[in-house]
Every structure is written in structure tokens, then in C-alpha cells.
A and B are shown apart, each in its own frame.
Chain A
């Protein structure tokens, strides 16, 4: 079964007088249970592709399908519902709601989903322990390091076991040990729960965990490699 399918995606941004092709006729299909790394230099189009798959950005042309459903023509409300129920996000920066504690940030998505209070709290505490943040549940983002904040964001993205996790440079602020721990957690979820991961990264360590590596350049896919992960 296909988790994500993009057909002839195009997206152009205007920068000053110049048109930048962020996506140039991109076609990609990712099967359920896939673990894909999108790799590209800055401006290569990986974040734009990730955003298009997550329904955060609309392509100028082409079609995007998630779990077999076309999403590029959905309304804002329908896209929000799709993200809420099926997709977990980890952004490169500004991942957390400043007025909420780590646990409350992790609970946020579940709360909007309507998960009962006790179940929500228990899941949040367990996942925070899993990402190495036991004891920091009641800290607010301002009282945590960048790495700790990123792990809270990861915990929030995976806590409700979405079918698809989209991560944009998830290890950007993490040391190598924490990065490895995080990637192992992603792989474990991928192996045992069948969660599909699409990760945009520069980090070679992250790429080494991927089952499939897609290289992009100037908005085009230039290489698509199936690899034996670590």
C-alpha cells in the first residue's frame, strides 16, 4: 500500500526579481512502512516537498496523495484534520508552544484529538521517558536546552502513533549520542509499528538509518537509492 504519492509536483517561489523552482516536476511514491531520507543542499527543495506532503504548502501543479487520498485540493479544515489524525511533524525550529510544559506540549495533539485525560497523561509521560526526558515533564521550553526541546517535539510527533511522520532536520540541535538514540527510536517505531518516516536532513548519520535515500537538487529528484540501513 502506498503511504505517499506525489505526481508531477511543481512549486515556484518568487525571490525579488527571480523565480526559484523549489519543486520541478517531482514524482515520488513511498510505501507504507517506508523510512525515507530526503537529502539536498540548502534550497534543494526537500523542505518544500515535505510541506507539500504534509498539506502545509500547496503545490502550483501536480497531485499529492496520502494513504491513497488526494490532499492538494482539500480545504484548510480538512487538511488540519488530516494532519491531526494521520501525520506527526517535527520541525527544524520553533517546535513547541512556549506557555505549555513539556508534558502539555506532548499532550497537545492528543488533547485536540480528544484523547481522555488520564490516557493522555500516561502516554505523554511514557514517551518523554522514551526520548530521555524523564523528570523534565513540568519544564517549559524556555527552561530546556535546544536538544531537549527537539526531543519534546519528537515525542509529540510520535506519541499518538501517526501513520506518517514528517521530520525536517530533526537532529539539527542534538549531539551525536542523542541523535543516534532518536534515530534508533524512529527505526524501532518503523520496524515494530510500521510507521512511515520521511525525514529531510543534511546529516549523514541520519541518512545511514534510512532504508531509502532520495537526493534532490534544484527542486528535482536526482537520485533514489534503496540502501541497507545500519
Chain B
């Protein structure tokens, strides 16, 4: 304990012996730490937003379909269980939210143009927490019930079709007998989405109205379940498998969108690589500073050895110096990164490059996500690697011959 106390005191004073060098090194560590944590928060936010947006397009964390639905998402591949049967099974299961839908490809036509879209026949009361559409931010109104006869389309699609709220459009798809199933709808609302392609590709109609149009009775093509956290959905998955009992295929969102799932898995590894790369750049400065500090103190180290300080304590002193330097730099860098995230935590508008980001499934607002585990990871990596980097100069100092060191000019 006494040895640690003197090591700490000597290390602290040695650090400030050459103010300028220590300050420059501290600045480098602070900037490096800040960059590690702040950029990680931006990357995390970007990926998190991409995944959230992706899930909101699915939407849901766990989905149930006919086994062939993913290959052919048509009305021919409906869930074998009826909608009312599903309601009975899932109604009392205690999920955060769940809903059934009819989801089929369709063609929408106005008097000016036509487009291929995905028709979502939904129960609006159950969809509120699931969909990417903000009900309160719809021009006009959102659907009011499953048998609402109106249709809600995206603003961008409305512009393409040259239509607006109050006008009529025709929706056309196929029924289970491969006959044309079509119907005229009055546009009751135009929704806005973070991702522009959503506004072009999705149209919402009442579930019952859609079932009637497609002549599928009480059947649906999709059941979705929402969990608390998209990163941890195993409980919901297991419960859904149990409730479906083999009558349909149950998939996690990571399986439904392998790209997003892989991205989530890769992110943690990427953050570690990013932190290590920045540290490697930092370590050159750190090692150089420590080596210089050792060279400057050869005689002093020799004196301490001559007076009876064990070589291991000399090694400890140099290591403590580097750890003190790193600890101060990490504390300040982490605090600065936290402070830098605060003013932008409500989102940075990147709509100037919105179209490009849309291609990658990203929205035009970026929300930095500062995770405690990323801050801890950055701090631990820098401390551990810094410790390792300091061993070389420390080892050298501990192995001086005292009398040679004292007489060194």
C-alpha cells in the first residue's frame, strides 16, 4: 500500500514536470476518446434508426405467415387459421401489441397514372403502435375502423398519381380464384413517412373492406407481434410459436430482413474495430511520451534503484503514470462526447442528402444513440491497450543498472 502511495505521488508529479508534453498528450487522448464515443453514438443512431425504420416497414418484431407467403406474398398464401381464431389465441397472451393484416400486392390507378403498391388491410385501432404512420400527422384522416371504406396513401404516391384527399382511386388485385378483385376507394388521408419509398409503396385500407374486396372471408395473410425491445424478442418468438402450434410459419424480424439483422450483429464488432483503430493512432503518441519521460529520468530512476526501490516498483511507476494520463483523458473525453450529444439528441436533419440516405433505408433525421456500454467499451479498450503500450518503456526503465543510470550524462 505504501509503495502504491509513493508510486502514485511520483507518477502524478512526473506527469506535470513537462507541462506542455503532458497537455499535448492529454489533448490527443481527449480528442481520440471524444471521436470514439461521439462517432460511435452517431453510427449507433444511424443503424438503430435504419433498423427501427426497417422494422416499421415490416412491421413487427415477430411475424406469422403461410409457409409459402415469403416466396409468393399473394392472396393464395393466407394463414390457415381464421382471423377470429387468431384473435382468440393471441387476445389474452399479454403481448405489448399484436395485429392481423391482409397484405397483398396490388395496383392503384388514378385517372392519370397507375402504380404497383403493397395493400395493407388493417384494423386501425390495433395498428397505431405498430405502423410507421403517425395518425395525427395525416393530411385528412387515418382509417377509423376495419370496415372503413376509405383509403390512406402516401403523399409521394398521391403526387405521382396526381390525386388528393377526397378524390377516388381504383385498387386492383387478385382473389384466391385468380379472378380480378377490384374496388374504387375515396382517398381519405395522405400519410407522411420518414422514408420516402414508404410513401410510394404502401396504401392502407380497412381490414374487413379488404377481405371483402379480395373475397377471402375471415382470413388474413399476416399476424405481427411487437415486443419491448427489438434486440431481445426471444420471449415473444417462443410464445408465438407456442400459440400458432405449427399451423403457420413464425419468423423473427432478423430472419425476415437478413440485411438489418446482420447489420445489428455486425455493429458491435464494427464499434470495437473503430475504437481500436483510433487507439492505435493514439498509442504512438502515448508510447513516445512515455519513452521520452523515461529517457529524461534515467539518472533519477537509477537513484531510486540504488536507494533500494525494487525494479517492479519502477515498472509500476511508469505504468501508473500512463494510467493516470489515460484516466484523465478518458474522463474528459467521455464527458465532452456526452456534452456534444446532448444538443443533437433530438435529431440532426440530414435531409440535404435525404434521397441518397433513403436508398440505404435511412431516414432524413439522424438520432445519435449514446449507449453506456459503448462508453465503457471505449474506456476499457483504451485503458487496457494503454496499459500494454506503457509496458515497453516501463520494462526498459525497470532494467536499468542503477550505477550506470546514475552516472549517465
Contact = CB atoms under 8 A, between A and B. Distances in A.
B14 A80 contact: no
B304 A99 contact: no
A155 to B, nearest CB: 13
Interface string B1-19: 0110110001001100100
Interface stretch (B31-39, B106-114, B166-174, B305-313): B305-313
Interface string A73-117: 000110011111101010100111111100000001101111000
Contact of A80 (B299, B300, B311, B403): B311
Contacts of B5: 111
B402 interface: yes
Contacts of A56: 306, 402-403
B403 A77 contact: no
Contacts of B304: 97, 108
Contact of B13 (A83, A84, A99, A108): A99
A112 B3 contact: yes
Interface in B248-274: none
Nearest to A112: B309
B13 A100 contact: yes
Interface in B27-86: none
Contact of B309 (A84, A89, A91): A84
Contact of B303 (A80, A95, A113): A95
A51 interface: yes
Interface of B is mostly: helix
Contacts of A95: 303
Given A97-B10, A99-B10, A99-B13, A108 B307 contact: yes
A143 B6 CA distance: 22
A184 to B, nearest CB: 25
| Most chain A beta-carbon neighbours within 10 Å: one of B3, B10, B303 | B303
B360 to A, nearest CB: 55
Nearest to A140: B13
Given A80-B310, A111-B6, A112-B313, A91 B17 contact: no
A80 B309 contact: yes
A109 B2 contact: no
Contacts of B310: 77, 80-81
A108 B403 contact: no
Interface string B290-332: 0000000001100111111111110000000000000000000
Contacts, number: 68
Contact of B307 (A76, A109, A114): A109
Interface string B369-409: 00000000000000000000000000000000011001000
A83 B17 contact: no
Contact of A109 (B10, B14, B308): B308
Nearest to A50: B403
A112 B310 CA distance: 9
Contacts of B2: 111-112, 114
Nearest to B300: A97
A81 B308 contact: yes
B330 to A, nearest CB: 24
A83 B14 contact: no
Nearest to A157: B307
Contacts of A112: 2-3, 6, 307-309, 313
B296 to A, nearest CB: 10
Contacts of A87: 308
A50 to B, nearest CB: 10
Contacts of B10: 97, 99-100
Contacts of B13: 99-100
Contact of B406 (A94, A108, A113, A156): A94
A57 interface: yes
B6 A83 contact: no
A91 B308 CA distance: 14
Contacts of B311: 76-77, 80
A129 to B, nearest CB: 22
A57 B306 CA distance: 10
B1 to A, nearest CB: 8
Interface in A121-167: 156
B6 A91 contact: no
A3 B408 CA distance: 30
Interface in A25-76: 51, 54, 56-57, 76
Contacts of A57: 403
Given A111-B5, A112-B3, A83 B307 contact: yes
Given A80-B305, A83-B307, A84-B309, A91 B300 contact: no
Interface in B106-139: none
B245 to A, nearest CB: 71
Contact of A77 (B17, B299, B312, B406): B312
B98 to A, nearest CB: 68
Contacts of A83: 306-308
Contacts of B308: 80-85, 87, 109, 112-113
19 contacts: A56-B403, A57-B403, A80-B310, A81-B308, A83-B306, A83-B307, A83-B308, A87-B308, A89-B306, A91-B303, A91-B306, A97-B303, A97-B304, A98-B17, A100-B10, A100-B13, A109-B308, A112-B308, A114-B2
Given A96-B303, A112-B2, 10 more contacts: A51-B403, A57-B403, A77-B311, A80-B309, A89-B307, A94-B300, A100-B10, A112-B3, A112-B6, A112-B309
The 10 A-B residue pairs whose C-beta atoms are closest, nearest first, are A84-B308, A99-B13, A83-B308, A56-B403, A114-B2, A80-B310, A111-B6, A94-B299, A80-B308, A57-B403
